[in-house]
Amino acid sequence: MKERATRQDGKDRLPPGQYLTEKWPVLHAGSIPRFDPGQWDFKIWGLVEQPVRLTYQEFVGLPKTTLRSDIHCVTAWSKLDVNFEGVPAKAVLALAKPKPDATFVMVHAEQGYEANLPLEYLLSDDALFAYRADGRDLTPEHGWPLRLVVPRLYFWKSAKWVRGVELLAKDRRGFWERNGYHNHADPWKEERYSSPWE
Ligand X SMILES: Nc1nc2c(c(=O)[nH]1)N[C@H]1C(S)=C(S)[C@@H](COP(=O)(O)O)O[C@H]1N2
CB 73 within 8 A of CB 19: no
| 29, 76, 94, 169: residue in contact with ligand X (rule CB under 6 A) | 29
| 42, 113, 129, 144: residue in contact with ligand X (rule CB under 6 A) | 113
Which of ligand X, Mo ion, none does 76 bind, CB closer than 5 to 8 A by kind? Answer: none
- Any idea what DSSP says for residue 193? B
CB within 8 Å of 177: residues ≥ 6 apart = 115, 116, 183, 196
CB within 8 Å of 164: residues ≥ 6 apart = 41, 42, 43, 44, 45, 107, 108
Residue number with CB closer to ligand X (97 or 118) = 118
Residue number with CB closer to ligand X (29 or 94) = 29
Residue number with CB closer to Mo ion (92 or 115) = 115
- The backbone region for 180, taken as left when phi is positive above 0, alpha when psi lies in -120 to 50, beta otherwise, is left
Residue number with CB closer to Mo ion (88 or 187) = 187
Tell me: does residue 156 bind ligand X (CB under 6 A): yes
Of the candidate spans 27-35, 63-71, 78-86, 166-174, the one that interacts with Mo ion by CB under 5 A turns out to be 27-35
Task: Tell me the C-alpha to C-alpha distance, in Å, between residue 196 and each of 73, 171, 181, 189, 192.
Answer: 20, 13, 8, 19, 13
Q: How far is the CB of 17 from Mo ion (least distance, A)?
A: 14
| 9, 17, 26, 27: residue in contact with Mo ion (rule CB under 5 A) | 27
Residue numbers of the site for ligand X (CB under 6 A)?
24-29, 73, 109, 113, 142-143, 155-156, 158-161, 176
